[in-house]
Amino acid sequence: MPSIEEIQQYLTGAWRMMMGKPDGIRLLDISADGFWNSFFAIAIALPALIAGWVSLANTLSPDFLPFGDRLAIMLKLATVDIGAWIVPIVAFAAAAGPSGLGDRFATYVISSNWGSTLIIWMMLPPTLLRMFFPAIDYFASAMSFCLFIVSLVLSWRLTNSAIGKGTGVATAVFAAMFIVSLAVLYALQFALGLGALDQATG
């Protein structure tokens, strides 16, 4: 497990890459240990993720639903989010070699993991607004949409810095990972009986 100082360094590196500064890679640990340690980013993102699961569980379930059933919904939401995080990485691992990106696979995964944590925390404010000020849900939805657009730009910049093979290749990788993530997200929602999730999130 990385130390607090190392985590701060890795998040700083990912943020610099999101700002279009490829030198942020130098702040990341691009090694076998660094690769596996980067998945600790999921734990760093967990509080913000839990807030989102609680908010969605409250929206999807009636007020009288027993706590156990509400918890089961949260666990399903957790499965969807974690699956949408991990499965695209597995898909990229299978495609990296044939596509000539094997030498950039570790760099992409490491930077993407830490970058995803930053984006998840960035998306927290509208979630908190929905939880504590439900009357202004329209404002929270507008904020979510704006932050989503910003997150796409930041993610593309990070991908471009991590891949380092030009904007064309970076855009192809970004688009492919985005499509796979959406496919996994919707497939898991359907498989776990969370079809109402789209309506709940607007």
Q: What is the pLDDT of residues 21-51, one digit of tens each?
A: 999 999 999 999 999 999 999 999 999 999 9
Q: Could you give the number of structural domains in the chain?
A: 1
Question: What average pLDDT does range 81-88 have in this prediction?
Answer: 96
| pLDDT surpassing 50 at residue 171 | yes
- Range(s) of the domain holding residue 131: 4-200
Q: Measured between alpha carbons, how far is 44 from 42 in angstroms, rounded to an integer?
A: 5
Model confidence pLDDT, tens digit, residues 128-149: 998 888 888 899 999 999 999 9
Task: List the beta strands (DSSP E) in 81-155.
Answer: none
pLDDT value for 136: 87
Give the whole-angstrom CA distance, residue 192 versus residue 77.
Answer: 9
Which amino acid belongs to residue 21? K
Q: What is the DSSP string of 44-88?
A: HHHHHHHHHHHHHHHHHS-TTS-HHHHHHHHHHHHHHHHHHHHHH
Return the SS3 of 2: coil
Spatial separation of the C-alpha atoms in residues 121 and 114, rounded to whole Å: 11
pLDDT band at 198 (very low <50, low <70, confident <90, very high): low
